[in-house]
Structures are given as C-alpha cells and as structure tokens.
Structure 1
Amino acid sequence: MALRWGQRTHVMGVINLTPDSFSDGGRFDRPARALAQAQRLVAQGVEILDLGAQSTRPGAEDVGAAEEQARLLPALQLIRQAIDSGQMRCPPRGDAPQASGRPLISVDTFRAPVAEAALAAGADWINDVSGGRQDPAMLSLVAQVGCPYVLMHSRGDSHSMDGLTDYGAAGVVPSVLRELQRASQLALAAGVRQEQLIWDPGLGFAKTTEQNLALLRGLAQLRSEGVPLLVGPSRKRFIGAVLEEPRAKARLWGTAAVVAQCVSAGVDVVRVHDGGPIVQVAKMADALWR
C-alpha cells in the first residue's frame, strides 16, 4: 500500500511483543495472539502495523538483539504470511476508496541487526526511537534497503531520558525541530534519501507533561518543514497526568483528543493502541480539517 502524504490521516496500530510494555505488556507476546491482534486492527481500519519486541518505556530492561529477534520474528512471519495470502486487507474508506489494500508492517527497533532480520522477513518500515543514535549501522542499512524510516526525537535511553528534559531558553519545539534536522542531516549523509524520512517528535521521550503539551501545540511548525510527520500519543503518561488517570488503558478519550489536535495540525500518521475508536476519530477530524 502506498500512502499519500498530506491528503488524510493514516492510523498505525501498536502490537507489543513484550512482557513489560507500559500499556499492554504480555497480551500479545505469543505469535498467535499477535496475529489475532493484527487481524483485529486491520479489520478496524488500521493501515500500518507497528511491531515492537523491546520495550522503550522509562526504566525498561535492554534485552539484547538475540532476545528481541526471538520475540519479533515468529510473529512478524505469521503476519506477513497472512497479508501475502490475502487474509488481511484494509477495508475501503468512504472518503478514500483507494485506501483498501494490504496493510504495511513497521518494526519498532533501534538495532540494525534486528532491523535487517525484520526487513528480510517482510517488514516494510523501520521505526527507530533513537533516530539512529543508538546504532550507527542503522542509517547505512536503511540507506541500502531504501525503506521508509521513522526518525524519532529522543535523548538518552530508557534509564536516562527522564533526566534530559532541559531544552534551554529556546524551548522544546525549536529544540526538537533543530535536533530532528541534525539527525536527518546525518541520515542523508549516510545515504538515506529525503523521501524515506518520516519525523516523530517523540512524545514522552525526554519531555515533561508541559513539554509534551507544548509540542502538540507546535506540531504545525514541525509539519511546515515538509517532512511527513508521525505522532504517537497513545495512553501515554502525560495524558494520565492531565486526566489524573493512572490506568493506561483508561486514557482512550484523552488519546482521542490528542489525535484530533494532530489531525488539525496536518500530522500524517498517528500511532495508537485502540484501532477502531481512533480510526473513527481520524476520519471525522479529517472531514473537519482536511
């Protein structure tokens, strides 16, 4: 499926293949369960499936490349087979009948060996929370393969990012923009083509609640650079702080409000756990703002 940037909002569905993710750890850490969730999300209108086998929540344990691949590849292979056999197709949208087709598979990893194995097994995208910082070989791999590359803004790692929220006098929006531009320059220097890049401002990664809100208010400034923009607000801690809701799964309506803000700012992809409700939110918001 070819996505058409700037025409409407695409929904990416999260499938965590980990036992320790902050929202749904352990629910989909078996290949059959992951496949069932992928089928459910696609039937609800999700067009991109994002598989992750290494938790990146604050304080998460780094499990290493071997364990990450062991978690990832069986589920990825099952989902790829189901897509290729025609068992999983995106339903047509009334506002975009051309949207029907095979869903895309994204893999959420910051390790080049895992990305390489995932691409060989049929992944379409690489979604790198480190933006190429944690494994410099990632950029040359993405350049060689030519796949779409989600370059996310972050600082530090799962153990240090909460202490790296000082963005100085410039503030969080100009600083994140500058750091995304710098990371993109490194990617281009490594041979990645401009059209492969998708930016993610990294909500929740080295940002306080107020900084996340400021980023959401400043999305149009990031989008004005002309790079497709992906935002992942789903169930995150800053939504819980605003709503005074400690339960991650109970933050759907807060997530929906953030998604509406994303659509109004021209965001191209929203990354969420709750497929069906957010597909409806995005479709209605597109009708209002697109």
Structure 2
Amino acid sequence: MKLTCGKFELDLTQPRVMGIVNVTPDSFSDGGKFAVAELAVAHGMELVGHGADILDIGGESTRPGAIPVPLDEELRRVIPVIEALAAKTCVPISIDTYKPEVMKAAIGAGASIVNDVFALQQPGALEVVAASNAGVCLMHSQGTPQTMQLDPQYQDVVREVHDFLRDRMAACEAHGIGRERIVLDPGFGFGKRSMHNVALLRDLKTLRELGQPLLVGLSRKSVLGQLTGNDVDARLHASLAAAVISAMKGARIVRVHDVKATVDALRIVTAVEGL
C-alpha cells in the first residue's frame, strides 16, 4: 500500500509516524510552544531526527471551543514554516487546514499533503486539491470545533463514519483525485463521546473495508484523559498504547506529538506483527 503525494510515494506497508507541528498559541496540548516560525521549524527538524515520516503543520487550533483564525493570520503562521522545512528536509509536509486558500498557498510553498478536518467540504477545496498532485487526508467530524463536543449523537458511529468517508472519497474521485492520493481519518475526538472513540478504535477493520490507508490521531486527546484520569501533559503512556493498538488494527499513519517514543513502540509492533 502506498500514498502518492506530490513528488513523494510513501510506502505504507508498515505504519508511519506523522509528527505534529502546531504553529498556534492555543492548541490543546502544545499551544504557544512553537508559535514563532523559527521555533516551529526547529521543532519540525527535531521530529524528523526522531524518525517522523511526515510533518503536519497547523496554524489554526481545532480543539473543542477553538476560535476561528482569520485567513491572513493562518497564512502568516504556516507559509514561512512550510517553506523553511521544505528546503531543509526530504520528508513529506502536510498542511492541516480546511481553507482552500491556505491549501493552495501551502502546496505552492512545498506541502505535499492536505490534512482537512472537514474532508474537502468547504467551497473550492476539492478543486484546489484536484488541480494539484498533493495527497489528501479526509477526516470525519460532526459539527464545528465550536460545537462538536456539546452533544454528539450517533445511531451507529462506526457505520456512519464509514459511510461519510465513503461518500467523501467518491466526491474526490468525481473531481479527478485518484484513490492513490487518499488517506482516511475517523476523526477521533471530533464530535464524538468517549464511547464513540472507543467503538471506532475497536472496529477499525470496518473502515479498512473502504480499501484506503487509515490515519489515526489519538495523541494526548481528551478520550485518553477520560479513560486514565490524566491531564494532557501526563498522557504519553496512553498515547503510545493507542498508537500501538491502532497499528495492530491496521492504521497506516499515526499522528502524534511524541515522535521518538512512538517510533520505538511501532518498531516492536512491526517486528512482532511482521508488518
């Protein structure tokens, strides 16, 4: 299994690690730590040194209750970081955004993957990605960051997420975005209660039936705090357990803050499972 994204062809026969670089003052886990471009670039290079296979750059927090960031501000935050990292490293760079204008500028600056929490539903988003050769991660979410955790409801969360991702994949294909460019993300924590997140992780095989690589982002998330009772800064062990379980259930990309520890954990999974 491979992901074609820009000039890269990422081998997904074994699980890969996407390192998070938040260029934001208000992300739930590391908001403000890397809000200055130089610090964000240094952090990205550190993650590459720790074994990250992809760097995911985000300039707008999508934590529950987050305030939307104006377009100009998001561009100001992410474009210099993408340009600098694209010149310094040979790993694919992902832009974490739902705004078509940011997608286009980021691809021009050197990003080769679009990671969209709204699965290219914003007007113009499908067209921007279709006009490029970038890969895309389509994520399921219910509601917006401002509303998604107020009262999420599902009759069958696994089936509903499956059907949504199937439909968004079909929309991509109808716009000329081939399956070799598509990754799917169940959207852990985006409009889901703890029981919904657990059900999705338990039944990843149903989403694998869609035939596309799966990305799982559970690193330090509130569901892990709810299950362990730990604050966000004390969720490393739970995050590693989630990454290992995800990989063993078929996820091919795990999006994480703690790259070195996750890379080590996945090496054991790969050795034991023969991935």
AA paired with 2:264? Q
1:61 partner SS: coil
CA distance in 2, matches of 1:16, 1:49: 10
- Whether 2:63 is the aligned partner of 1:79: answer no
- Whether 2:123 is the aligned partner of 1:136: answer yes
AA paired with 1:29? A
Runs of 4+ in 1 over 4 A off after TM superposition: none
Instruction: Give the corresponding residue for 1:284.
Output: 268
State the aligned residue count. Answer: 267
Contact (CA 8 Å) 2:166, 2:210: kept in 1 or not? no
Gaps of 5+ in 1: 84-101
Instruction: Give the corresponding residue for 1:16.
Output: 22
The TM-score, its normalising length taken from structure 2, stands at 0.94
- Whether 2:152 is the aligned partner of 1:165: answer yes
| Structure 2 residue corresponding to 1:194, chosen from 163, 179, 189 | 179
| Structure 1 residue corresponding to 2:10, chosen from 3, 8, 16 | 3
Instruction: Give the corresponding residue for 2:3.
Output: none
Instruction: Give the corresponding residue for 1:36.
Output: 42
Shift of 1:164: 5.2
Matches within 5 A, 1:97-246: 102-133=90-121, 135-163=122-150, 165-168=152-155, 171-245=156-230
AA paired with 2:181? Q
CA distance in 2, matches of 1:184, 1:160: 25
CA distance in 1, matches of 2:151, 2:130: 29
| Structure 2 residue corresponding to 1:273, chosen from 257, 262, 270 | 257
Contact (CA 8 Å) 1:30, 1:75: kept in 2 or not? no
CA distance in 1, matches of 2:9, 2:150: 39
Shift of 1:81: 1.8
CA distance in 2, matches of 1:263, 1:114: 30
| Structure 1 residue corresponding to 2:65, chosen from 59, 81, 102 | 59
Gaps of 5+ in 2: 1-7
The TM-score, its normalising length taken from structure 1, stands at 0.90
Shift of 1:225: 2.0
Instruction: Give the corresponding residue for 1:90.
Output: none
CA distance in 2, matches of 1:164, 1:139: 29
Q: Deviations over 1:82-119 (max 9, x none)?
A: 12xxxxxxxxxxxxxxxxxx211000000000010000
Shift of 1:36: 1.1
CA distance in 2, matches of 1:187, 1:160: 26
Shift of 1:191: 2.3
AA paired with 1:255? S
CA distance in 2, matches of 1:215, 1:288: 24
Shift of 1:224: 2.6
CA distance in 2, matches of 1:232, 1:152: 10
Shift of 1:218: 0.6
1:51 partner SS: strand
Contact (CA 8 Å) 1:232, 1:272: kept in 2 or not? yes
**CA-based RMSD:** 1.1
